[in-house]
Amino acid sequence: MKTKRAVKLKRAAAVAALVAATVGAPSRARAQSEEKRPVKHLVTPVMPELGKKLNLSGTVRIEVVIAPDGSVKRTRVVGGHPVLAAEAEHAAQKSTFEPASHETTETIDFKF
């Protein structure tokens, strides 16, 4: 009895993983088909004092919405240590990109 139950659970987990991968696929395919917006000026984030004291390092990923004129309209922290994220987001807001005909969304990785 326990073996059949284990097989059913494994099968359900595999189906759930397949569905999750399929749901995210269209957005990834769309992002890969568009070319990346060239960066005009990428501001380097400053390591926060708390980050220095804690000897933190790592990567913070920031999603930016770029206006047609190349300025950053909105930012959103996608991943990384919370102590480092505020400085990375601030640097992303000050960065500029080449102009384009439409608004685009890009992801910037800041390494600390």
Q: Is 97 helix (H, G, I), strand (E, B) or coil?
A: strand
Domain span including residue 105: 36-111
Per cent of the chain over pLDDT 90 is 67
Same domain, 25 and 41: no
- Does one domain contain both 105 and 67? yes
Q: What is the pLDDT of residue 35?
A: 75
Query: Which residues sit opposite 79 in a β-bridge?
Result: 61
- 17 and 71 share a domain? no
Q: Domain with 76 in it: what CATH number? A: 3.30.2420.10
Checking if the pLDDT of 68 tops 50, the result is: yes
Q: Please tell me which residue, 107 or 31, carries the higher pLDDT value.
A: 107
Task: Provide the domain count of the chain.
Answer: 2
* pLDDT score recorded for residue 26: 41
58: left (phi over 0), alpha (psi -120 to 50) or beta: left
**Cβ neighbours of residue 81 closer than 8 Å, sequence gap 6 or more:** 51, 56, 58, 60, 112
The Cα–Cα gap between 30 and 24 comes to 11
